[in-house]
Amino acid sequence: MNPVINASEPIWAVGSAFLTALLIALTGRWQNLRDLWSPLGALAQFGIVASLVPAVLSGETRTFTLTTPMPGVALYFKVDELGLFFALMASFLWFIASLYSVGYMRALKEHAQTRFFAFYAISLGSAVGIAFAGNLFTLFVFYEMLTLATYPLVVHKQDAEARAKARVYMTYLLGTSIGFQFTAILVIYGISGELNFTKGGFLQGQAPDWLLLSAFLLYIAGIGKSAIMPFHKWLPSAMVAPAPVSALLHAVAVVKAGVFTVLRVVVYVFGVDCLVSLQVAQILPYVAGTTIVVASLIALFQDDLKLRLAYSTISQLSYVVLGAGLLSPLGAMGATLHMVFHGFAKITLFFTAGHIYCATKKTKISQMRGIGKQMPFTMIGFTIGALGMIGLPPASSLWSKWYIGLGALETQHYFALGVLVVSTILNALYFLPIVYSAFFEGGGGVEALTLPSPPSPNTVGEGESQLLPSPDAAGEGSVNLTPPAPLSASREGGEALYSPSPFTERGQGGEVNPETPSPTLPLSAGGESQLLPSSEASGEGQGVRATEKPPTSEVIEFSTPYLTLMTLAICATALGVLVLFVYPHPFLELARRVAGL
């Protein structure tokens, strides 16, 4: 029998994040000191969690009871293989996310940064509280705490759109957890008088099958954070939040808390044997498979990068539910692995989306042609993350999808196997074109024109210029920029004033003004064009013309210290995806123990 040891490590792992939040709040007026607490708090939390690995691998179980509010119901922590799996991922990724968040928030000069970092820390404390929860009551407390702590992060922009979408976020998550999950907990307690997690479950034979099945379906419906359709709409709505929050929601804490809870309920509350007798394998994989395929199809048609990633997350989360629903050891092992391996790949993708926005203000996939030449490290990281979503080597997600596929073969669940094949193709269809466009297509054309307005007799009013749609629209005292036929004009002596360009100035009556030197169109760091005066422009009364330069290949991801910090964070998580592919053994061992292999 494995020894159970009462120890303080679980409460310190949870409490370190809440202490970090307090220190952030107290030092908010000193920006550098405030921003130091998050990475230090993350390192402390990860160190405590990592110190528990040898004990768990040797078969020990560490527990801690904080308080007992009512007989038989305690706020109780317990460190086992599954909880350690989740806590290791969350605490490690918090450290990288904290560095990235500093770069992001400072680069954009975001408001309310102290509040942001404080609630970010509380969210990570809540996530580790869920990981180390020893019973359904403790898990529910920290599950709700995580929802409340992330609300200020989702509504961070505090405009009308952010408030509206944050209401959707809260409605779905609180509505499902209170309406369904809490009801299921009451039913389970009423059936068994027990809430503590037990390997193999504790409900078999405790009540009629119809009642146990009803309680299970209620609980699964109440785990809104797993984003199973139709309880998924909160996740796209939450994309109104800043990129570090999206990374927290999708990769580190919120959705991972959802699928972690699914695994807890399947393995440690009902148990595989009980669920086999309830024929859950004929229900849950079909629900998960439908979510996987439908969300992938929706993602295929999203031009907004973060929305495409959001629907990708909805799809990818259900791989965990699919693996758990197969009710086979190999399926459970794959589901456990995917919870972590997806986290590393998806946080890389959201880091990339935020970095592109900070550097170029681009949010649409259609705007990102050729961006790999300007942000090579960032887009290489995106490529690695995309391979992780597809499940191709050298990305670690190959292992998790491999074991889920073996679980489908083990149980002869060919629908689940078909879902894996179809979704892999769909994942490739909505990720690989982004990679191809970024590296192998040219940048965009003229996107924005800013006209200088020196005083001139040929302008409308004093210092004003006017863009007219065609030569016919040019009137007296106006400047018209229209696509010309190939022309050239010279001063005396043959000095060229301008060469053929996309826009040519016309004066009164639509005649070409040869006296006008032109502004050029240098591209900005993000590939956007801007109409600026050329070095030849001088003197009053001169008009305007423009030439278009080819897209620049200037590297912009290291142009400021904050963008550099974000680039390094992307490289770190992308490297994690590769390392976990080459050396997955510690996580494979923990996953085997969760699955009972």
Residue appearing with tokens 């629907």: 311
Q: pLDDT at residue 460 above 50?
A: no
Q: pLDDT at residue 55 above 50?
A: yes
- pLDDT of amino acid 464: 40
Assess if residue 437 is contained within a domain.
yes
Joined tokens for residue 526: 């993000």
Assess if residue 234 is contained within a domain.
no
Q: pLDDT at residue 466 above 50?
A: no
Q: What is the mean pLDDT of residues 242-250?
A: 86
Report the phi/psi class of residue 205: left, alpha or beta, with left for phi > 0 and alpha for psi in -120 to 50.
Answer: left
Percent of the chain with pLDDT over 90: 65
Distance in angstroms (rounded) separating the CA atoms of residues 91 and 227: 22
Distance in angstroms (rounded) separating the CA atoms of residues 263 and 270: 10
Q: Which range, of 66-75, 89-98, 360-369, averages the lowest pLDDT? A: 66-75
pLDDT grade for 69, boundaries at 50, 70 and 90: confident
Q: Which range, of 1-15, 185-199, 299-313, 565-579, averages the lowest pLDDT? A: 1-15
Q: Distance from first CA to last CA of the chain, Å, rounded?
A: 17
Q: pLDDT at residue 577 above 50?
A: yes
Task: Based on the fold, state whether residues 565 and 454 are members of the same structural domain.
Answer: no
- pLDDT of amino acid 1: 54
Q: How does strand 532-533 pair with strand 519-520?
A: antiparallel
CA quadruple 86, 91, 95, 98: dihedral sign = positive
Angle at 142 between CA 141 and CA 146, to 5 degrees: 125
Q: What does pLDDT average to over the chain?
A: 83
Q: pLDDT at residue 156 above 90?
A: yes
What is the tens place of the pLDDT at every residue in 162-179? Answer: 999 999 999 999 999 999
Distance in angstroms (rounded) separating the CA atoms of residues 195 and 407: 29
Assess if residue 264 is contained within a domain.
no
Query: Residue 293 belongs to what H/E stretch?
Result: helix 284-300
pLDDT grade for 502, boundaries at 50, 70 and 90: very low
Task: Based on the fold, state whether residues 437 and 561 are members of the same structural domain.
Answer: yes
- pLDDT of amino acid 583: 92
Q: What is the mean pLDDT of residues 433-442?
A: 92
Taking CA atoms, 479 is separated from 466, 524, 533, 544, in Å, by 6, 25, 15, 8
Percent of the chain with pLDDT over 70: 81
Higher pLDDT, 60 or 523: 60
- Cβ(399)–Cβ(581) below 8 Å: yes
Task: Based on the fold, state whether residues 340 and 412 are members of the same structural domain.
Answer: yes
Task: Based on the fold, state whether residues 420 and 521 are members of the same structural domain.
Answer: no
281 secondary structure, DSSP code: G
- pLDDT of amino acid 459: 40
pLDDT grade for 596, boundaries at 50, 70 and 90: confident
Assess if residue 403 is contained within a domain.
yes
Question: CB within 8 A of 425, min separation 6: which ones?
Answer: none
Report how many domains make up the chain.
2
Joined tokens for residue 562: 């904050």
Task: Based on the fold, state whether residues 329 and 452 are members of the same structural domain.
Answer: no
What is the tens place of the pLDDT at every residue in 201-219? Answer: 999 888 899 999 999 999 9
Q: pLDDT at residue 511 above 90?
A: no
Task: Based on the fold, state whether residues 331 and 383 are members of the same structural domain.
Answer: yes
Task: Based on the fold, state whether residues 373 and 401 are members of the same structural domain.
Answer: yes
Task: Based on the fold, state whether residues 341 and 368 are members of the same structural domain.
Answer: yes
Residues 465, 470, 472, 473: what is their CA dihedral angle, to the nearest 10 degrees?
Answer: -40
Q: What is the mean pLDDT of residues 41-45?
A: 96
- The amino acid present at 390, given as its one-letter code, is I
- pLDDT of amino acid 552: 52
Assess if residue 365 is contained within a domain.
yes
Assess if residue 58 is contained within a domain.
no
Range of the domain at 288: 284-442+556-597
Q: How does strand 61-70 pair with strand 73-79?
A: antiparallel
Q: What is the mean pLDDT of residues 460-476?
A: 40
- pLDDT of amino acid 24: 97
What is the tens place of the pLDDT at every residue in 277-335? Answer: 999 988 999 999 999 999 999 999 999 999 999 999 999 999 999 999 999 999 999 99
Assess if residue 486 is contained within a domain.
no
What is the tens place of the pLDDT at every residue in 88-145? Answer: 999 999 999 999 999 999 999 999 999 999 999 999 999 999 999 999 999 999 999 9
Task: Based on the fold, state whether residues 542 and 408 are members of the same structural domain.
Answer: no
- pLDDT of amino acid 472: 42
- pLDDT of amino acid 20: 97
Distance in angstroms (rounded) separating the CA atoms of residues 289 and 140: 27
Q: pLDDT at residue 556 above 50?
A: yes
Joined tokens for residue 311: 């629907």
Q: pLDDT at residue 528 above 50?
A: no
Distance in angstroms (rounded) separating the CA atoms of residues 76 and 196: 9
What would you report as the CA-atom Rg of the chain, rounded to the nearest whole angstrom? 29
pLDDT grade for 251, boundaries at 50, 70 and 90: confident
Q: What is the mean pLDDT of residues 385-396?
A: 94
Joined tokens for residue 524: 């900005």
Task: Based on the fold, state whether residues 305 and 413 are members of the same structural domain.
Answer: yes
Q: pLDDT at residue 15 above 60?
A: yes
- pLDDT of amino acid 225: 92
Task: Based on the fold, state whether residues 438 and 577 are members of the same structural domain.
Answer: yes
The 10 Å CB-count burial string (b at 16+, else e) for 99-111 is bbbbbbbbbeeee
Task: Based on the fold, state whether residues 418 and 319 are members of the same structural domain.
Answer: yes
Joined tokens for residue 344: 């590393």
Compute CA 375 distance to the chain's CA centroid, rounded to the nearest angstrom: 19
- The amino acid present at 12, given as its one-letter code, is W
CA quadruple 248, 249, 250, 255: dihedral sign = positive
**CA nearest neighbour of 212 among 196, 190, 195:** 190
DSSP state letters, 547-571: -BPPPP----TTSSHHHHHHHHHHH
